[in-house]
Amino acid sequence: MQTDPLSARVFADRNLAIRPFTAELDDTFYLPTPQEQPLSRLAQDFIGEFRAHISASLLDILPPGG
């Protein structure tokens, strides 16, 4: 079974062995927004917080240089 680092974090405290996986994976997130109107300040803030959360979570999971 293969999973992304964020999903694997759920199982971090369940006494699982973590093995290196060397294939490069692309985790891409999309947020559909209307073309006809600019993003609200709330939406911009949400996107910024989401990006920060994902980045911080990956730093906790991935090995240095990973």
Q: Is residue 48 part of a domain?
A: yes
Q: Is residue 66 part of a domain?
A: no
Q: Is residue 25 part of a domain?
A: yes
**Residue 54's CB: how many other CB atoms inside 10 A?**
14
pLDDT at 45: 95
CA-to-CA distance for 66 and 64, rounded, in angstroms?
A: 5
Q: Is residue 52 part of a domain?
A: yes
Q: Is residue 23 part of a domain?
A: yes
Q: Is residue 54 part of a domain?
A: yes
CB 6 within 8 A of CB 58: yes
pTM given for the model: 0.48
For the chain, the domain total comes to 1
Under DSSP, the state recorded for 37 is: S
pLDDT digits (tens, 9 = 90+) for 6-34: 777 777 777 776 676 666 666 777 888 88
Q: Which structural domain, as residue segments, surrounds residue 51?
A: 5-61
Mean pLDDT taken over the chain = 77
pLDDT at 21: 65
